Amino acid sequence: MSQTFAFGGRKMKQNLRIAILEDSTKLAESLRNAIRNSLVAYIQLFFSGEDLLKELASGRRFDIYILDYQLDRYHRKLWGDEVAEKILAFSPKAKIIGVSSASYEEIFTQIGAHFLVKASVNKNILRTIRELLSQKSGKK
């Protein structure tokens, strides 16, 4: 089923699926709400990289992956960059946005992902999604 979402007054039809990997429930929900305020999309929240990878192993794919870098290492085994590399193994043309409160831009850009600092993620996420969707194929 096609969904309609708008950017800059233009409506577009697309089955847009977004995965958000963030270990903070509050931040994950805030990001989901920021996206939903401007476009219609299926957004699934994941609180561990392992859960997201299980979903991919079951055959599900997303159009955009938004991945926190520093996940709770005490309860989880993988951080965001490691999850990104595994996503790219499943889907080499995956569109990935890395987010973190610290500047880990180089880590994500080396694997072909975009990067946003958490302090500005709600402000800049829609612009970044628009940029990714405007690309015909492939990574950054």
pLDDT tens, residue by residue, 61-78: 999 999 998 877 666 678
Task: Examine residue 5 and state whether it is found in any structural domain, yes or no.
Answer: no
Summarize the confidence of residues 100-115 as an average pLDDT: 76
CA gap 22, 46 in Å, rounded = 6
Answer yes or no: is pLDDT of 15 > 50.
yes
Q: What is residue 78's predicted lDDT score, i.e. its pLDDT? A: 82
Task: Examine residue 109 and state whether it is found in any structural domain, yes or no.
Answer: yes
Contact 114, 140 (CB under 8 A): yes
* Tally of domains in the chain: 1
Q: Say which CATH number the domain at 55 has.
A: 3.40.50.2300
Q: What is residue 75's predicted lDDT score, i.e. its pLDDT? A: 62
Task: Examine residue 3 and state whether it is found in any structural domain, yes or no.
Answer: no
Task: Examine residue 6 and state whether it is found in any structural domain, yes or no.
Answer: no
pLDDT tens, residue by residue, 33-69: 989 888 888 999 999 999 999 999 999 999 999 999 8
Q: What is residue 18's predicted lDDT score, i.e. its pLDDT? A: 96
**Could you identify the residue written with the tokens 């595994």?**
86
DSSP assignment letter at 125: H
DSSP assignment letter at 44: E
Task: Examine residue 74 and state whether it is found in any structural domain, yes or no.
Answer: yes
Task: Examine residue 75 and state whether it is found in any structural domain, yes or no.
Answer: yes
104 vs 84, higher pLDDT: 84
Q: What is residue 98's predicted lDDT score, i.e. its pLDDT? A: 87
104, two tokens: 């880990």
Q: What is residue 76's predicted lDDT score, i.e. its pLDDT? A: 63
Residue numbers of the domain that contains 68 = 15-134
Answer yes or no: is pLDDT of 2 > 50.
no
pTM, two decimal places = 0.78
Q: What is residue 3's predicted lDDT score, i.e. its pLDDT? A: 39
3-class SS at 15? coil
Q: What is the DSSP string of 93-129?
A: T-EEEEEESS--HHHHHHTT-EEEEHHHHHHHHHHHH
Summarize the confidence of residues 118-135 as an average pLDDT: 80
Task: Examine residue 140 and state whether it is found in any structural domain, yes or no.
Answer: no
